[in-house]
Amino acid sequence: MRQAQSPAARYTPRMAGPFRRALAVLVAGGVGAAAGLPPVSNTKPAGPTARPVWNTAPAVCGEPTRPTLTASPLPGTVSGRVAFYAAEYAPTTQRVIRSVGLGALNELQPVASTYKPVVVELALRDVDAGRLSLNTPFTTTAANRSIEAYPPGTHTLVDLAKRAIVRSDNTAGDILQQAVGTQRVALSLRWRSPCTSVLLTSKAAWAAQGFLQSAVLGDDLLSGAHSYFALPFAERVAVATRLNANAARFTGPEVEAAIDSYFRGPLYDPFIDLAFQHTSTAKAYADLVARVYGGNNLQPGTRRLFRDLLSQGCCHPRTSPLNATYWGAKAGSGWRLLTLTGLVEMPGGRTFAYAYLNDGSDTLEAEDMEAQIPAVVTWIEQNLRTLAGK
């Protein structure tokens, strides 16, 4: 996993203006001068087992959220920073009726591969608008291949959508993100969920973390991360465009080797992860899931497809006292990172959405983080049952 409106970019003038200006702000060199930040030392203790130390106060977005209910204690295997927010939403307006939460719900955290349904939904909206079709072919190349398993050869949009959601295929997600347009995805998310950022392809983000993007970020990885993260949104989109283009110079295996070395090496810093990965807050992302995972912005055919794919996504109970008529889910995992999201529809039209974000865990490898999924899914279901009065 490591990690009704036309999709033809009908954006509000307030957002469209800065976005157009961003395209003219391509910074000639690194981003440090643009952000005006002092140098930040890259000196870190060696060894991958030391608990992460945050170099800055956690970044926040939005006002503090006070949920109606407090979540039950977490499973004993969970460690690190956890934010969890679940709410019952009015089906037509998505107004929050009641909620349950845990942790700092307005702190930004990586969302890992849970961004992929958002990209797939935007691609399907482009299908509805006639810009793409379900049979549009896409070919995997050395330039667009990301890390880990990938779909070789040529595949249709619908096949890549299935791979992105059901298999959490990174290359499939990147190809669809580029098909929609990385800048359009970034601006759409900024408009729909201002606390949510999806600017880079997975390959570009990992190449940045793996210290392969010095041509854009400069020769000091941590300083470049601080500078990039501090840029105004329009300028950040412009630099992200350069990072996405520059990542095509590297092969998937090269990026995978670099990111593995970064995670286990002396340059590792959780802030670097936050700067380059897709991020949101638990509250903002649950609200976005409530608006996206039901497929309500899609036409009937693409909506059925989207919901079918999410119903196969990871992870939800095979049986549940909630008697859900639909449970669309998507998980993400990575180094010290696990995320779980979902939309639950119950008989009578009751609708619930949730986002579970866990980073900075004492557990290191993605595979070991994924071993926590059954216990955490059971915990999420228990909190949803409390929220639903079951």
Per residue of the chain (390 residues), give pLDDT as tens.
544 222 222 222 233 333 333 333 333 334 443 333 333 333 333 333 333 444 457 899 998 999 999 999 999 999 999 999 999 999 888 899 999 999 999 999 999 999 999 999 999 999 999 999 999 999 999 999 999 988 899 999 999 999 999 999 999 999 999 999 999 999 999 999 999 999 999 999 999 999 999 999 999 999 999 999 999 999 999 999 999 999 999 999 999 999 999 999 999 999 999 999 999 999 999 999 999 999 999 999 999 999 999 999 999 998 888 999 999 999 999 999 999 999 999 999 999 999 999 999 999 999 999 999 999 999 999 999 999 998
Q: What's the rounded Cα separation, in Å, for the pair 109 and 273?
A: 9
What's residue 91's pLDDT? 87
DSSP assignment of 206-254 equals HHHHTT--HHHH-S-HHHHHHHHHHS-HHHHHHHHHHHHHHHTTS-HHH
Neighbours of 39 (CB within 10 A): 12
pLDDT one-digit tens code per residue, 43-92: 333 333 333 444 457 899 998 999 999 999 999 999 999 999 999 999 88
Residue 92, pLDDT score: 85
Q: What is the CATH number of domain 57-132+279-390?
A: 3.40.710.10
Distance from chain centroid for Cα 104 = 18
List the Cα angle 8/14/17 in 5-degree steps: 70
**What's the rounded Cα separation, in Å, for the pair 305 and 7?**
17
Residue 12: the pLDDT is: 27
β-partners of residue 20 are none
* Closest of 299, 107, 278 to residue 190, by C-alpha: 278
- Cβ neighbours of 323 (radius 10 Å): 10
The pLDDT of residue 56 is: 59
Sequence-ordered list of residues with C-beta below 8 angstroms from that of 1, at least 6 positions apart, any chain: 112, 113, 168, 314, 331, 332, 333, 334, 366, 370
pLDDT at 3: 41
User: Position of tokens 């002396």?
Assistant: 266
pTM, full prediction: 0.87
- Strands 96-102 vs 69-70: parallel, antiparallel or unpaired: parallel
Residue 33's DSSP bridge partners are: none
Between the CA of residue 194 and those of 50, 58, 187, 285, what are the distances in Å?
Answer: 33, 17, 9, 10
For 110-142, give one letter per residue: b (16+ CB within 10 A) or e: bbbbbbbbbbbbbbbbbbbeebbeeebebebee
Cα 222 to its chain centre, rounded Å, is 21
